[in-house]
Chains A and B, each alone.
Chain A
Amino acid sequence: MDMNKAPNPIAFVTGADRGLGHALTASLLAKGWRVFAGQYMPEWPQLSELAATYGRRLAIVPLDVTSDASVRAAAEQVAASADHLDLLINSAGVLSTADQRGIREEQDYEEMHRLFRVNTLGPLRVVEAFLPLLEAGTLKRLCFISSEAGSINRAERKSWFGYCASKTALNMGVRLLFNRLRPRGYTFRLYHPGWMRTYMSGDKNTAADLEPEQAAVPALAYFLRDRGHDPHLAPRNDEDRLVLRDNRGVEWPF
């Protein structure tokens, strides 16, 4: 489906306050989409600045992906003004500096639980709550910001237990979703966006490779492209396989 010809395509983006989620929201708006943006930090100004530019095409939705009640309320708020969703982007994610401790240091299991609740359970909770709206959409596309850090095969780290495990578990959770929902017409994007200058551990990481606005360009191109008819992949329909791809199009093993 060519979304540029679709009337009124609608997206929901989590973690839209800043970083990649914000940049993806801005790009979708620039392409003419209507966007519901999940907001975790009402005091952070970037989403309101977008709202000033795009008016009613952007709706800000309070969202804490670790809370059943918050995610349900968000789905109800969206359902009150839209009869469908075409695209869901799960971008909300966190990192913890405590996670870099090696096994010979004291581990912070509470922090590991927090990373699991946000990075792994969050996307599942959002999919569950928004499934009725997605069911009514034509694109039925589910996008997940994962990470190369979730690849067991390629793992070279010696710690970051909580973050890596949360992303591996996310990849498995998405695979189980794929097995159930792909036969019903859903399509999936499981994606490593590159190392970005974002706020995942609370403060902006200035050492990383990419600004989120740069990272959003290949990410959105990949999320919106129809891989079922990708000439580079022909004749195989790449939609029928769940793959973890990075910002350069390279596939990562699980």
Chain B
Amino acid sequence: MDQVAFVTGADRGLGLALSAGLLQAGWRVFAGRYLADWPELDRLKEQYADALELVPLDVSDTVSVRVAGTEVARQTDHIDLLISNAGIGGGGDIESGLDYAAIEKTYDTNTLGLLRLVEALLPLLDRGALKRIAVVSSEAGCITLAHRDSGYGYGMSKAALNMVTKLLFNDLHPQGYTFRLYHPGWMNGYMSGKKGTRGDMEPEEAAIPALSYFLSDREDEGRLVLIDYMGSEWPF
């Protein structure tokens, strides 16, 4: 049986690099595309015409996610690996005034996006052999060690994402699912809208340990852990 993955936020940054890595490893990839006019996925499609399918996707839009699920179900009878990667930043700080609409939008995308995806794709994941759900989170969602005093939208959405993943884990792990909750490191991605320049690494570099972790077995699948790109565990 083909190994089939679904990757969100595949337009650029880490999602694109993960899609490329999976294709290179022989996977069939459904790539969630948010930006119809961004060219990098088209280039990848030229290279992997048969193995790569581009799927219009806005994870903050319930209808868009359901339509994507229906479309993918027409083209494959199963998905082995879901990588929930699409994410945005946003927030403000308490003295200059929080942007509540921006915070809610971040929650809608970063937190509720995962639920929409799992709800829509669960029938396909049920028929996959691997049943793996990989969630790109962040150390910014770690409450215990939080050192920031701003970035409310991003930090709260990632903490809430960790919670949602835990609830899904509680439900689905007994049904044969395995989970990867992951902090990929500080990359020169496009989280702010334009490409970052001060990160520790490029998304192509970050995709290597990420994919290795998503695809390898863990000894302790019975516990949900937040692991970073160095293999270290973060508290919640």
| A interface residue numbers (CB < 8 A to B) | 68, 102-104, 106-107, 109, 112-113, 116-117, 120-121, 124-125, 127-128, 131, 150-153, 155-161, 164-166, 168-173, 175-177, 179-181, 253-254
Contact = CB atoms under 8 A, between A and B. Distances in A.
B167 A161 contact: yes
Contacts of B235: 153, 253-254
Contacts of A253: 144, 235-236
Contacts, number: 132
B104 A152 contact: no
B149 A176 contact: yes
Contacts of A171: 143, 159
A176 B160 contact: no
A127 B94 contact: yes
A158 B163 CA distance: 11
B93 interface: yes
Nearest to B97: A128
Interface string B150-171: 1110011101111110111011
A172 B149 contact: no
Nearest to A172: B159
B98 A164 contact: no
Given A106-B119, A157-B167, A168-B162, A113 B148 contact: no
Interface string B79-102: 000000000000001110110100
Contacts of B160: 165-166, 168-169, 172
A38 B155 CA distance: 28
B166 A152 contact: yes
Most chain A beta-carbon contacts within 10 A, residue among B93, B107, B150, B235: B107
Contact of B171 (A103, A128, A177): A103
B159 A155 contact: no
18 contacts: A103-B168, A107-B115, A109-B116, A112-B115, A152-B163, A152-B166, A155-B167, A155-B170, A159-B167, A161-B115, A169-B157, A175-B143, A176-B94, A176-B146, A179-B147, A179-B148, A181-B94, A254-B144
B163 A165 contact: yes
Contact of B162 (A120, A152, A175): A152
Contacts of A124: 94, 98, 100, 152
B100 A121 contact: yes
Contacts of B207: none
Interface string B173-215: 0000000000000000000000000000000000000000000
Contacts of B236: 151-153, 253-254
Contacts of B107: 116, 120, 169
A100 to B, nearest CB: 11
The 6 closest A-B pairs by CB, nearest first: A180-B149, A158-B171, A172-B159, A165-B160, A254-B143, A152-B236
Contacts of A120: 107, 156
A109 B112 contact: yes
Given A124-B94, A175-B143, 17 more contacts: A68-B100, A103-B119, A103-B171, A109-B116, A113-B104, A131-B95, A150-B163, A159-B167, A161-B115, A164-B167, A168-B143, A176-B151, A176-B156, A180-B150, A181-B94, A253-B236, A254-B143
B118 interface: yes
Nearest to B171: A158
A172 B167 contact: no
Nearest to B60: A109
A161 B119 CA distance: 12
Contacts of B146: 172, 175-176, 179
A184 B62 CA distance: 43
Interface string B221-236: 0000000000000011
B60 to A, nearest CB: 9
A180 B94 contact: yes
Given A155-B167, A172-B156, A128 B104 contact: no
B223 to A, nearest CB: 11
Given A128-B94, A180-B93, A173 B156 contact: yes
Contacts of B157: 169
A74 B161 CA distance: 32
